[in-house]
Structure 1
Amino acid sequence: MGRAEERRARQRGGRRAAPPARSSGTAAPTRPAGTASVGIAEPGPMEGGRAAARRAAQGKGGRGKAGKDKGKDGRGFIRRLFTWKKIVGGFLGVCLLGMGAFIALYMMTPIPAANADATLQSNVYKYSDGSILTRSGKLNRETVDLAQVPKEVQHTFVAAENKTFYKDSGVDLRGTARGLLNTLSGKGAQGGSTITQQYVKNYYLTQNQTVTRKLKELVISLKLDRQKTKDYILAGYINTSYYGRGAYGIQAASQAYYHKDAQKLTVQEGAYLAALLQAPNQYDWAIASDTGKKLVQARWNYVLDNMVEMHWLDASKRQALKFPVPKAPKAPPGMEGQTGYLVDAANAALERQLVANGTASNINDAEALVTQGGWTVTLNIDKKKQKSLERSVKQQLTSRLDAKKRKVDGVVQAGAVSVDPKTGKVVALYGGVDYFKHYTNNATRKDYQPASTFKPVILAAALNEDAKTQDGRAIDANTIYDGTSGRQVVDNGTKVGFAPPNEDKQNYGKITVQKAMNDSVNSVFAQMGVDVGMNEVMTVAGKLGMDTKGMQAVPAQTLGSMGASPMEMAGIYATLDNHGKKVTPTIIKSAERKNQPVSFPNPIGSQVITPEAADTVTSVLTGVVDDGTAKTSVASNPQRDGQQVAGKTGTSDNNKSAWFTGFTPSLVTSVGLFGEDPKSHAQVPMTGATGNVPGSPSGRINGGSYPARIWAAYTFGVMDGVTKFELDTTQGAAVQPSDTPSSTPSNTPSSTPSNTPSSTPSNTPSSTPSNTPSSTPSNTPSSTPSNTPSNTPSGPLDNPLNPNDGQ
C-alpha cells in the first residue's frame, strides 16, 4: 500500500460503515489473503442476517415503499411546518404584538374633550310642505354635585350596573372582549361595560357599535380611572345618562318622574331611576306595556337585592319597601296640543328604522341617538288635513264633553289616523285632547279592542283562501248564514263552547254575509271564522298589517278581542283599499343628521291577498255605509256629495271602545274612542257620555255614532272632488242575492234596496245597492240552500260573554 493510501485509511479509522453489499445472489468480493483489515468491520452473523433481510425487502417492495415515503414526506412537511414549538411561538408573538399595539394605542390616545353630542342640539320637525312644526326645545338637563344625591341613591346605580365599581380598574375585560366579538360577528351589543366605560361612551365618544370605538372606550376608561376619583366618575355617569321622557341626568329625571329634586329622592325612587337606564322607553311606567311594567319591577327588585348583598341596605328595611309608581309626565314646552303626539310618533318610527338599518344595535341606543339632537325630520303630515282632523274631533265630540256635569265624560279619549292608500303616507293624526293633559298617544296605543272592525278581515281570509262552509258552500257576500243571537259555533258538528250574542241579543234568522256585515251580526262571523279556520284568519290578519305576535287563534278573536291601534287598523283598511297590496302607514317623509340621511323602506309592499278578495271586501263594506250601521252618520251626511264610501263600525265589550274605520279611493281614516279612567288609567265603559248619544237610546257610544260622525266631518271636509271605487270583483257593490230564502225575516236582504238612503247620489255606479237584485252575479252558487245547514245549530243563549258588540 502506498503512503497516501495508508494515510487515507488511517483517516477513515474505522468510522465508516461497511459499504453496502451488492444485490442478492451476487458474491461479495474476496479480500486477498494476507491483506490486513483497516477500518472495515466484518458483519457478524446477526448483522449479516439483518442486512440480508433488508436487502431482500428492498428488492421486493422498493417501489411501493417509495410511494409510501412520498405520502410520509407530505405529512412530514406539514408536521415540520406546524410543530408545537412554532405554534406556541406564533401565539406568543401575536400576544406580544397585540400588547405592543395596545401599549401604543394607550400612549397615543388622550382623554378627549366632551363629544359634540354631550352639548346636545335641538331636533327640527317639519310638515310635509317643509314648514316648521316644532323644535325639540332646550335640552332637559341640569348637572348636580354628587353631594346633592343621597348616598343610598348613589348606591342604587352601582348596584344596578357595576357592583365592583369601587374596586375595579374602570374596565371589564371579559365584557369588553364579548362586546368586541359580538361586534365583529354582527350580533350587536351586550351588557358587561362598567360604569366608567358607560360614562366614557356617553360623554367622550358615541353610541356607534364599532371595534375602534370599543377599543378607545377601553383605553380612555383605564386612563380616566387612574386620573379621576370614583366619585367624579359616578357623578359624571348619573349626570349624563338618559332616563327617558327627554330627561338627561338624575336631576331632570327626578323632576320628570317624581316631580322633586334629586336630593329629596328616596332609595326606592332611586332604584327605579337606576333600573330605567337599562331600557328608558320600555320601562317608563306611563307608557309601558304590561310586560314592560313586570320587567321594570323585576329590575327594581334586582337593584335593591344587590344593595342588601353589598351591605348598603338593611335587609329588614328592604323588605318594607314598596314599588314607587312614578307620577304622570309633564310635557316639555312647545309640545302642547297635537304637536307632542306627532313628534313622539315620528321619533318612535325613526328609532325603529335606525335599528333596522344597523345604525343602532337596539331600540335603547336608537332612542339615545334621536334624543341627542341634531336631527331634521320631515313628516308626511299634511297641514290642512291635520287641522281639519283636529277641528272635526272638537266639533263632533270634545265640545260636547263636560266632566263637571257627567263624570263619565272625563273618561272618553279619542284617537285617529288618516292614511293615503296610494302612498302609505300618514297625512293626519290625532293623539288626544292635549299632549300636556294626556301623555299616551291614542293614535298608536294598542291596548283597546278593535271589536267589529275586525270582521272584514275574516271575510278577506274567507275570500282569499277560497273557504267553504262546513256543508261545502263557497263563502262570499251572498252566502246564507244563521244570524240567531247566541247560537253555538260548531266545528264539523262539534260545539266549540263559544256562542256570542248579537248586539241587544237581536235575532236575524237566515241572512246573507252582506246583511251580516251591514248589521255587524256576531253569530255569523263567529261561525265564519271557524269555517275558514282561525289559523288562516290570523295569518291573513298578519299579512294585512295586524301585529298578531302572541295572539291565540281562537273563535273569540272573531269579535276583535285582541288589541289594536288606529294606526294599525288604518293600515289594514288601506291594504284593502289598495287592492290587496300591503300598505304600511308611514309618518316620516325624510330624516337626516349632519347631512347623513336615513333610508326608509317603501310603504307600499307586495300583493298580500288577491285583488278580487280585497275588492270584494271593499264592495261589501259599501253596504255598511249605504244600508248598515254607518248609514245615519255617514251616508246621510249632506257633505257627502255623491262620494262613494266603504267602512265598518265596531263597539267593544262593555262599551270600553268604539270605532269607525272608513275609506274612499284616496283616503283611509280610522277613528277610535276609548274609555280610560283618568287616575288609574284602567279601561272603563263610556256609556252615557255626552248625555245624548245620537241613535242610541241605551246611551251606549257605538261606532256608528261619534266615531263615524268625526270620520264624515273630516273626510268630506278635505275631499278634492268625488271619486269612485274601481273594483275587480264579481260580487258587485253590496249586492243582495236574488235567491234569499223565503223564510228569511222581513227585515232581511230582500227589503234592503228599498230603504237605501234617498241622499245616495243618482250617479252611484251601477254596481251599488240601488240596482241590486238584477245585477247579482250569475256565478252565485246555485246550490245555496233554502235553509240553514242542518249541522249549524241554533242553540240556546248559553254564552258566558256579553260583548254587546256589533255597531
Structure 2
Amino acid sequence: MNSNGDSQSARARARVPGPSAATGPDGDPSYAAARPAPDAYRRGAAGQASVGAPRGSASVGAPAGRAAVGAASVGSARVGAAYGPGQGTGSYGGRAAVARAAVRPSAGPDGFGDLGGGGNGLPNRKDLTKLAKRRRRANVLTAAAAVVVILLGAGVVGGTWFFDGVDLPQPKSEDQATTIRDANNKVLAKLGSQNRTVVPDKSIPVMVQRAVAAAEDKNFYDHHGIDFLGIARAAWNNFTGGDKQGASTITQQYARHAAELKDISYNRKLREAVIARKLESKYDKQTIMGLYLNSVYFGEGRYGIEAAAQGYFGKSVLAAPNSPRALTVSEAAVLASIIKQPEPVKGGHKGFDPNINPDAAKDRWQYTLNNMLEMKWITPEERAAAVWPEKTLRPIDSGKSSGDAADKPVGMIIRHVKQELRDMGIDDDEQRRGGLDIKTTIDPDMQKAAEESARRSSEDSPMHDKPKSYQAALIAIDPNNGQVKAYYGGDNPTGLDYAGYMDGETGQIMDAGGQSPGSTWKPYTLTAGLQKGISFETHWDGTEKRIGGGTISNAGADPGRVCGGQIKFCQLEKATVQSYNFPFYWIANKVGPSNVLKAAKDAGIRHIWTDAQKDGTSKLIDLERTDASTWNKYFAEEIGFGQYRVVPLEHANGVATIINGGVYHKAHFIASVSRRDENTGKMVTYKSEKTRGEPVFPADQMSDLLGVLQKIPAHANKVLRNGRPAAVKTGTWEFNKKGGSGDAWMVGGIPQLAATVWIGGANKRVELKSGPNGTGRDMFGSSTPGAVWKTFMDKVTAKLDMKIERFPDRQRTGDPNSPLQNGKQPPPPPADPQCLIGFLCPGGNNNGGDNNGNNGGGNNGGNNGPGGNNGGNNNGDGGDNDGGDPTTTFPGQFLTGNPPRETDGTPGTGG
C-alpha cells in the first residue's frame, strides 16, 4: 500500500525494478518479504475483503434482472489497518501505517475462493482441485471483464446504471498550515493539523510533475484515468499466483482521496475507477496532477509538494527556474520517490524517506530517473549527470523549531490572534483550512524584555524573589497605532491568561476574570472631570461624609496631615499626585458614574465587573452593548477610584489612548494577513490592521492631564534612565475588608510606548508583600509593580536605542472656580515677620514634602521641617502623605458597610 492507498506487491511495488522475472516486475529479491506502504488516503479499514460471489453470480448491487457486474473475489484478502499520524485509527495521510498482508483464498464449500485463509497468509486447503482453480480464475476474469465493460462505457445496462449512479465529488479544499510571525517576520508558530501549503498547479514546474509521474504512473499522460495495461498486468500476475499488485493511476489515487473511499472492496475499486474517468473528462492533466500534488503525503508530517520541497531541501516549487531555491531534477526525483511509501511499516519495509532508509530511497530514486529517461522527459546527458543530492538534503527535525511559541509565554498571543481573525471575518472553518500567513505586531526585543522583567523565573525580574503564588502581567502597546508590542500573561500559553482573561477555546472574556485597578483608574475619572470643566486647580474637602454617611479613607493617612494639613482645601493636582481618594469620589458624584464609564469606554475599556450580586457572583458588563441606563444601575461613586474589576489588556489600551494625547487606536495583535493567490501562487495581503486613529478626547485636556501624571515617576522614585520623561499612575486595591494588598499596578508610558503592569495572586487572590518570599511591608503600586515597569522600560529604550521624546507642553484647562468642586480656596498663611529666608523657617510651606509631593517628598520635603528627611530621600518614604509617619496603620473601615477600599497612597510607599 503506497501513500495513496494503492495495493502493492511486496516485490513489485516496494522495490525498484530489476531484470529478473523471478524476482517480480521490480526485480530485487531483497524486498520479497516487504510489506506495503501506509495508505495516505485511507482511515482504519481493518481486515476487510470482498467475498466471492455465489456460483453463477458476480453482481455488485445490481437490481434483479440486470446484468451482473462482478464483485467476485480475485484471490486476495487484505488484513490490517492504516494508522494516521500519532493515532490508532487511519486517516488521510496514513502516517506510520500498518500494512495489509496479501492472503491467498482457500477453497470454499463450493470450490470457489474463500476468504477464511490461514493466519499465515497460506490457503487453508492444500488439495485445491484443478476445477476449483479454474472456477476461481473464471470468477476473477469475469470481475475484470465487468470493470472493463463499465469503464469503456459500453451499453450494458448494469454498467450504465453503476456509472451514472456514482457522483463526481468536488475537488477537496486541502487543509493547510497557517504561519504566525512576529514583527520581524520570524516564525512564532505554525497552526494546523497538516503541514501543507497549497500552490497553483500552473506554478508547479513541469519537471517536478514529470518526476512524480515517472515514479507513480509513467503512463499518466497517455491514459484516460485508467491504465488498462497496468490492470491487465497486475490482474494476470495476481491470477497466476504471483505477487499481489495494484494498478491505481494518479487519477485513481486522487479520486479515492476526493471521494473519501476508505473501505477495501471491489465496489470501492469500481467507484474509484468511475470517478477517475469522470475526473479525466472534466479536468485536464495539469489540473489533476496539481490536485494530487497538493494532497499527497510525503512523510515527516509534510503534505503536498511545497511542504515537501521546503522540508526536505529548503526550497520551493514556486521559485524561479534555475534560481538557488528552485528544485533540481535530482531533488525532484527524490521527492517523487518518497510518495510510494513515505514511512516505515512496523515489521516490514522501512519506506523511502531518504533520512530513514537511504539505501532504498536511492534505489527508488534511480528507478524514477530511469523512467524519466525512458519517457524522454530528461536527456541521456541529464540522466548521466544526476547526482544524489546529499549536500542539500535536510535531516529530520528533532523537535520544534526555536521559533515555536507553542510552549512559551509568547504562545499566549495565539488565542488573541485567532479571535482577531474572527473579528476580521475569517471564521473558524477558514482558520482550520489554513494557508494563511499572519504577521503580528509583537516586537521580539520588547517581548524578550517583557518576559525578563515580569517572569518569576527570570533573574532580572523584581518578581524573582516572590512566592510562586504571585503572578505578574505586562502589556506594552505602541500608543501611536495600537499595536501590541509585547504581551506577558503567564508562563503557560494554554493556561489562564492573566493579561487578557480570554478563554482559549471561545475567544471570549471569562466571566470570572479581571482585577480591580485601584488608583490607576483615576485618569479616566480625571478625564470625565476635565470634560465637565473641572480644573486641576479646583479644591476638594476631604472631611465630607459620603452619601448616606461614612468616611472616605485615604489609605490610612492621618487626616491632620492630608494635603499638608489642609484636608478641607486640597487641590486636585496635589490629590492626584498623592493619590488621595476623596476628590475622585466626589468627581464621580458630580459628573455622574456613567460619564466616568463613558470616558473609560472611549479610551479603550470594553468590559467591567459589578460588585457581587445577591447570588454572590459579579456580573460582567459589556460597555459596547450597554448604555448609561445599565451603568447607573450597577455602578456608584466608587467608580471614581477603581473599585470595579477590569481586563488588564483593555486597561492598557485605555492608558495608551491618554499617552497618545486622546487619540484612540484599538489594541491589536495582527498587522496583516496574507494568503496565496490561486492564479499566480504569490502571497497577497488579505486583511490588514486599521492604522487610522480616532480622536476621543481634546488634545489640550490630555496635555493638562499628562502634565500632572509626569510628576508621579519622581514621587514614586521610578524615574527612567537618562531622566526620560514619563507619565504614570500607580494603584493598589486591598486584599480584603481588613486591609492588605490584593492587586498592585503601575501604568503609563513615554510618547513611543505605553506599558501596564499588574501583580496579584496566581489562581486565587493572595495578600501581597513587597519583601522576599512574601515577607515585609504590603506591596503597593510604586514598589514591585513600579520596579517591573521601570525594568521593562529601561531595557526596551536601551535595546532599541529609543530617542528621548517629550510630551506636548501642558495647557491648563477647566475652570478653577468650577461650581462642581466641594472645597474652598485655603486661607492665606499668616505673615511671619521673622521668616525672611525660607531655610530659616521650621519647614515652611515645604513641610514634610508639600509642593505636590515632587521627588517623593524628597529634596523638596522640607529638610528643616518635621518629617522632612523621613519623607524624603528614602524612596519617597513618607512622601506619600506629606512626610507622615511610616508606621501609620490603616483605619478599620473605608465606607459604611466595609466595602473593599482602595489602598494606594499608603504612608511610606510613594503610591
Taking structure 1 as the reference length, the TM-score comes to: 0.48
Between 1 and 2, higher relative CO (CA 8 Å, sep ≥ 6) is seen in 1
Greater share of helix: 1
Max radius of gyration: which structure? 1
